[in-house]
């Protein structure tokens, strides 16, 4: 699982992330590779979806129809993992001719946040959209602000996983610097949504032997081409009687994240990465 070490916690070009995932998948040399991509409904995420489809899905996935290969997709407010979705995706790629062969399913979950440079330093969380200032990600901004939207209630429950009040951390300027609040809300969300997907995977027997790669990511929406931060990597071997799970990457506590910038790009660390694994 070392292919992603140099990417975890570091802002990287979208194409570089896509190519790294493809090279990782190609190394398995399996007869079937499938993919499930979760993004926010926000139109800013079209670039992220397009790059993943072009650099990963088109070269590796089985043909859906003539000259068309595509990942299973979910787009909703806040890039929420929907329970049961990974099972549907896995069944779609469980081709009858390889029922007894192992397949690889890549599950990529993209939270997102807007970025723009200012004379005072990097600014996260808003962008100029169609001539006016707009929250981005709007769903995560609504979460931090306490909106009553149904999607926000689901996000709120996820942010309280394990009886940890991560929202209180994000709202506390002594624990999370306000200038990084939107960024770290997106990081936390990606990590937690990926954990939900992993739990779902472990509670379901796949239709055919499967190795899952689950990648929590944060898209950095910029005026120039978007970039991306890989938050971590889950490997789940579901080819035997019981799934085996390994994770490398950042933890899920926003108060533990440390943010710095190198050459205009963000670097995020905590007590789990780069020190070790959880």
Per-residue confidence (pLDDT) for residue 2, from 0 to 100? 55
Q: How many CB atoms lie within 10 A of CB 132?
A: 7
132 beta partners: 129
Higher local confidence (pLDDT), 64 or 197? 197
Checking phi first, is residue 169 left (phi over 0); if not, alpha (psi -120 to 50) or beta? alpha
CA distance 179 to 89: 37
127-129-132 Cα angle (round to 5): 90
DSSP state at residue 277? B
CA distance 193 to 199: 10
| Percentage above 70 pLDDT, the chain | 97
Nearest CA to 217 out of 8, 28, 2, 26 is that of 8
With a cut of 90, say whether residue 15 has pLDDT above it.
yes
Instruction: Give the pLDDT band of residue 203 (cuts 50, 70, 90).
Output: very high
pTM here is: 0.95
Nearest CA to 150 out of 63, 259, 77 is that of 77
Per-residue confidence (pLDDT) for residue 3, from 0 to 100? 80
With a cut of 60, say whether residue 277 has pLDDT above it.
no
CA distance 141 to 78: 10
DSSP state at residue 85? H
Residue 212 sits at φ, ψ, to 5 deg, of -105, 135
Structural domains in the chain, sorted by start = 2-258 (3.40.1050)
Q: Secondary structure of 99-110 in the HEC alphabet?
A: CCCCEEEEEEEE
CA distances from 43 to 40, 154, 187 (A): 8, 21, 19
Instruction: Give the pLDDT band of residue 112 (cuts 50, 70, 90).
Output: very high
CA distance 136 to 272: 27
* pLDDT, tens digit, 9 for 90 and up, residues 153-176: 999 999 999 999 999 999 999 999
CA distance 144 to 167: 7
Instruction: Give the pLDDT band of residue 86 (cuts 50, 70, 90).
Output: very high
Please state which of the ranges 5-9, 118-122, 127-131, 272-276 shows the lowest mean pLDDT.
Answer: 272-276
CA distances from 143 to 39, 110, 118, 177, 186 (A): 17, 17, 25, 17, 11
DSSP state at residue 161? G
Per-residue confidence (pLDDT) for residue 1, from 0 to 100? 46
Q: What 3-state DSSP class applies to 13?
A: strand
> H-helix or E-strand containing 155?
helix 150-159
């Amino acid at each position: 699982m070392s292919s992603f070490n140099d990417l975890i916690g570091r802002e990287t070009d979208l194409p570089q992330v896509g190519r790294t995932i493809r090279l990782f998948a190609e190394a398995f040399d399996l007869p079937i590779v499938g993919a499930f991509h979760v993004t926010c409904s926000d139109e800013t995420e079209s670039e992220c979806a397009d790059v993943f489809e072009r650099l990963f899905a088109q070269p590796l996935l089985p043909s859906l129809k003539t000259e068309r290969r595509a990942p299973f997709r979910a787009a909703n407010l806040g890039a929420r993992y929907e329970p049961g979705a990974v099972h549907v995706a896995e069944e779609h790629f469980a081709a009858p001719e390889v029922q007894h062969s192992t397949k690889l399913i890549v599950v990529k979950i993209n939270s997102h946040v807007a970025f723009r440079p200012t004379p005072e330093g990097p600014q996260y969380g808003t962008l100029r959209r169609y001539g006016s200032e707009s929250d981005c990600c709007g769903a995560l901004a609504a979460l931090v602000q306490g909106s009553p939207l149904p999607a926000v209630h689901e996000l709120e429950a996820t942010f309280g996983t394990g009886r940890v009040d991560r929202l209180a951390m994000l709202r506390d300027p002594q624990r999370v610097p306000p200038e990084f609040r939107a960024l770290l809300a997106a990081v936390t969300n990606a990590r937690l949504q990926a954990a939900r997907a992993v739990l779902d995977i472990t509670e379901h027997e796949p239709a055919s032997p499967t190795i899952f790669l689950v990648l929590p990511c944060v898209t950095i929406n910029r005026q120039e081409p978007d970039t991306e931060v890989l938050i971590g990597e889950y490997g789940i071997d579901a080819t035997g009687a019981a799934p085996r799970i390994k994770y490398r990457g950042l933890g899920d506590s926003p108060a533990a994240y440390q943010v710095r910038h190198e050459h205009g790009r963000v670097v995020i660390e905590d007590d789990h990465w780069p020190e070790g694994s959880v």
